[in-house]
Chain A
Amino acid sequence: MSRPRENRLNEIFSKVFLIELDQINDELSRKDVEEWDSMGHLMLISEVESTFGVFISDEDMTKIKTLGDIKKVLRKLGVAI
């Protein structure tokens, strides 16, 4: 677990979807977040990729439904978060 990385991910999440940092938790899902549409999803993935220097496959991309899912994918790709 790394705080700076988690903070960085939360900041992306907060800025892409206009959510206050204190309202962010791992269970937040696409259903809950008004701004999480397909364009927002692409933006999220692209920012996560460039920030953490990873490539997220199409398969993983479609599986991501919550903030927790992103962390799982990142861990699978070798990012300690």
Chain B
Amino acid sequence: MKISSSSTEMTSKGSDVKLKEILDMVRIEPTHLNYWNAYKRIQKLDIKVTDVPNEKRIKIALLSSFTIDPLSMYLDIKCRFAGLYPEIYIAPFNQYQQEILNTSSKLYAFKPEVVILAVQAESTLPEDFFSQYAKVPKQEKEKYQVEIMERFKTLTSLLTSRINALVLINNFIIPSFTPLGVLDNKVDIGLKNFFHLLNKRLTGLYLKDKQVYVVDFDGVASRHGKSRCLNYEMYYRGSFGISESFLPAVADEYMGYIKALKNLTRKCIVLDLDNTLWGGIIGEDGIDGIQLGKDPPGNAFVDFQRLLLNYYSRGIILAINSKNNYDDAIKVIRDSPHMILREKNFAAMRINWQDKVENMIELAKEINIGLDTMVFVDENPHEREQVRQALPQVLVVDMPSSPFLFRQVLEDLNDFNTLALTEEDKMRGEMYYASRMRSEFQKSMVSLEDFLMSLEMKAVVKQADDLSLPRVTSLVNKTNQFNLTTRRYTTNEIKKMKEEKDKFSLYTLQVIDRFGDEGIVGVAIVRKELKTWVIDSFLMSCRVIGRKLETAFVASILADAKRSSVSTIIGEYIPTKKNEPAKSFYPDHKFSKHKDFEWILDLTKCTVAAPPWVEIKSEPA
């Protein structure tokens, strides 16, 4: 008799219910044994991924010079925690080079979206290199460094020319041991320095690369403690290169990239005030009684605010959700000499006695982002629990009771990653503040038209260039609401289209008004045929909806088409759950129904004019 997995798993219980039970078990007790057990049981559930939309599926390939199988358990389960349906391919032991070189390898047949390349330095050097390290002359050390880099260069350029996957390469763990001991930094290239230099070269090699990212494996190892990164028993018994305790940290690091790739990035931190941004309760302690400043614990709150300002500067939106008298709280934000964050740093504020759940919903609406992109930070466990239960999409951070640890907890969140940092990201905070000012200004205006006129808007429409490409990619992949076709393209696909100038035009829309430069807020991809242009994609950031900028944008594209003697424009509207705001775009702009989802405009008979309140500056193709 063969005993296989327990029979209860096979009963009629839906596999999604079963999956949730298994994941809850690991969540509650995340031991190595439970990861193993959960992974094995999930494999037996036979979950159908064919019905899952592509954006929720992820295919990951693991290539390594050591036994990497246990990592797949952690990646699999952490992907599922993030709501993804992973498929993972593990290349045969230490065959990463063959897998990349051979066009008919299983790696390519698998068609991964992410390739993880984890190579130990030892495997790329002669066996006796390290055992004679002290005797190796400098030139030879440098020669090996160049060789290793050349090998990586060849492998990754082959890989990226064959597949569009995101490639993650581990840098090398700088060893704690050196035979030179205290002299390591007194010789030409000490052993530790050898690895430092390798890592520096590796970073340099891919600095500008849009597809290959160097993962700071050494940094992850340092944080974990290098002496705990290898379990020697398992290493010698089965070449396991990552210890059980190190596995979750490694998987979390990769998840930072995977979540960014799958648009699961958090965009906004919503903050409580009392005992969160400062110590004490403003309503009771008064502005002189709260803890904020040079003395403990006030200094910890100042530092915590500095970290938040750091996030703000790289494009994370900040907002306030606090139970307080508005006048008391705003006085601290405006007048306290120790506050780091000021009114202008917050995209929206809810300081009132309303339920925090209600406030969260309102904030999401006002900032115009999904609740699933928000993080809630509140020291009060009851408020946290209420938000967690009512709004499970919101990431509620488990704040420690000691304010001295706030900063560390928020530094450890790995949910704010994007794969490119654009100028718009760095300016985002200012733009949201300008938008708040704009809407207050609007309230003082009599009619919408007066308001729009008074904004003095300029729309700059031009072809995408190298500088704007990351922003174009990010808009194409993130815009949901004002997006006519919701087609997603990778950086490489977009780059290709940009290069095929006779087949495609990639337009960008930049908007500037009296409150500031909004940066690039719209993208249109046009497929060009002789007499017909097809609008493959047309989308605008939700930030600028309601100002008829789409009319200015399409007018400018149509003018361009006319100049190229095009007679027909075809547009598509593909409905999704989220793109209702763009539904009537084509009928509103004189297009008539052609067939399902398709709209047509005869350019010889009519055209579209820009609204009078937008001045267009266009650079024709």
B408 within 8 A of A: no
A50: which B residues are within 8 A, CB to CB?
244
B40: which A residues are within 8 A, CB to CB?
18, 35
CB nearest to B44 among chain A residues:
A18
On whether A34 and B4 interact (CB within 8 A), knowing A39-B69, A46-B231, A46-B233, the answer reads yes
Tell me the residues in window 232-248 of chain B with beta carbons closer than 8 Å to chain A beta carbons. Answer: 233-234, 237-238, 244
A26 within 8 A of B: no
CB nearest to A24 among chain B residues:
B3
A60 within 8 A of B: no
CB nearest to A58 among chain B residues:
B237
Nearest CB on B from A41, distance (A): 10
Contact A20 B6, beta carbon cutoff 8 Å = yes
Contact B69 A15, beta carbon cutoff 8 Å = no
B208: which A residues are within 8 A, CB to CB?
none
State which of A33, A43, A46, A47 has its C-beta within 8 Å of the C-beta of B3: A33
A23 within 8 A of B: yes
CB nearest to B8 among chain A residues:
A20
B244: which A residues are within 8 A, CB to CB?
46, 50
Nearest CB on B from A7, distance (A): 14
Contact A32 B2, beta carbon cutoff 8 Å = yes
Contact A34 B69, beta carbon cutoff 8 Å = no
A19 within 8 A of B: yes
Tell me the residues in window 79-120 of chain B with beta carbons closer than 8 Å to chain A beta carbons. Answer: none
Nearest CB on A from B38, distance (A): 9
Nearest CB on B from A56, distance (A): 9
Alpha-carbon distance between A39 and B240 when the two chains are bound, in angstroms: 11
Nearest CB on A from B62, distance (A): 15
SS of A interface (majority): helix
On whether A47 and B33 interact (CB within 8 A), knowing A18-B40, A35-B40, the answer reads yes
B527: which A residues are within 8 A, CB to CB?
none
Contact A28 B36, beta carbon cutoff 8 Å = no
Tell me the residues in window 1-50 of chain A with beta carbons closer than 8 Å to chain B beta carbons. Answer: 12, 15-16, 18-20, 23, 28, 32-35, 39, 42-43, 46-47, 49-50
Alpha-carbon distance between A50 and B33 when the two chains are bound, in angstroms: 11
- Which of B8, B69, B231, B233 has the most chain A CB within a 10 Å cutoff? B233
Q: How many residues of chain B are within 8 Å of chain A by beta carbon?
A: 23
State which of B5, B8, B32, B238 has its C-beta within 8 Å of the C-beta of A42: B238
B390 within 8 A of A: no
State which of B4, B234, B238 has its C-beta within 8 Å of the C-beta of A35: B4
Nearest CB on A from B376, distance (A): 34
Contact B3 A15, beta carbon cutoff 8 Å = no
State which of A23, A34, A43, A58 has its C-beta within 8 Å of the C-beta of B2: A34
Alpha-carbon distance between A49 and B233 when the two chains are bound, in angstroms: 10
Contact A18 B234, beta carbon cutoff 8 Å = no
State which of A15, A18, A32, A42 has its C-beta within 8 Å of the C-beta of B237: A42
Alpha-carbon distance between A15 and B5 when the two chains are bound, in angstroms: 10
B231: which A residues are within 8 A, CB to CB?
46
Nearest CB on A from B443, distance (A): 61
A19: which B residues are within 8 A, CB to CB?
3, 5-6
On whether A34 and B36 interact (CB within 8 A), knowing A46-B231, A46-B234, A49-B233, the answer reads no
A49: which B residues are within 8 A, CB to CB?
233
CB nearest to A23 among chain B residues:
B3
B8: which A residues are within 8 A, CB to CB?
20
Alpha-carbon distance between A12 and B32 when the two chains are bound, in angstroms: 11
A39: which B residues are within 8 A, CB to CB?
69, 238
Tell me the residues in window 1-19 of chain B with beta carbons closer than 8 Å to chain A beta carbons. Answer: 1-8
B306 within 8 A of A: no
Contact B2 A16, beta carbon cutoff 8 Å = no
B41 within 8 A of A: yes
On whether A15 and B34 interact (CB within 8 A), knowing A42-B238, A49-B233, the answer reads yes
Nearest CB on B from A67, distance (A): 12
On whether A15 and B6 interact (CB within 8 A), knowing A32-B1, A35-B40, the answer reads no
Q: Mark A68-79, 1 if CB is under 8 A from B, else 0.
A: 000000000000
CB nearest to B7 among chain A residues:
A20
Alpha-carbon distance between A65 and B39 when the two chains are bound, in angstroms: 24
B41: which A residues are within 8 A, CB to CB?
18
B222 within 8 A of A: no
B386 within 8 A of A: no
Alpha-carbon distance between A28 and B1 when the two chains are bound, in angstroms: 11
Nearest CB on B from A24, distance (A): 10
Contact B33 A12, beta carbon cutoff 8 Å = yes
Nearest CB on B from A25, distance (A): 11
B1: which A residues are within 8 A, CB to CB?
32
CB nearest to B6 among chain A residues:
A20
CB nearest to A33 among chain B residues:
B3
Alpha-carbon distance between A39 and B36 when the two chains are bound, in angstroms: 11
Tell me the residues in window 287-335 of chain B with beta carbons closer than 8 Å to chain A beta carbons. Answer: none
B37 within 8 A of A: yes
On whether A34 and B3 interact (CB within 8 A), knowing A12-B33, A18-B41, A47-B33, the answer reads yes
- Which of A23, A43, A47, A55 has the most chain B CB within a 10 Å cutoff? A43
A33: which B residues are within 8 A, CB to CB?
2-3
Contact B33 A16, beta carbon cutoff 8 Å = yes
Enumerate the 8 nearest inter-chain pairs by beta-carbon distance, A residue then B residue, closest first: A18-B5, A15-B37, A34-B4, A20-B6, A15-B33, A32-B3, A42-B238, A34-B2
Known: A15-B36, A18-B37, A18-B44. 16 other contacts (CB 8 A): A12-B33, A15-B34, A16-B33, A16-B36, A18-B41, A19-B3, A19-B5, A20-B6, A20-B7, A32-B1, A32-B2, A33-B3, A46-B231, A46-B233, A46-B244, A49-B233
6 intermolecular pairs with C-beta atoms under 8 Å apart: A18-B5, A18-B44, A42-B234, A47-B32, A49-B233, A58-B237
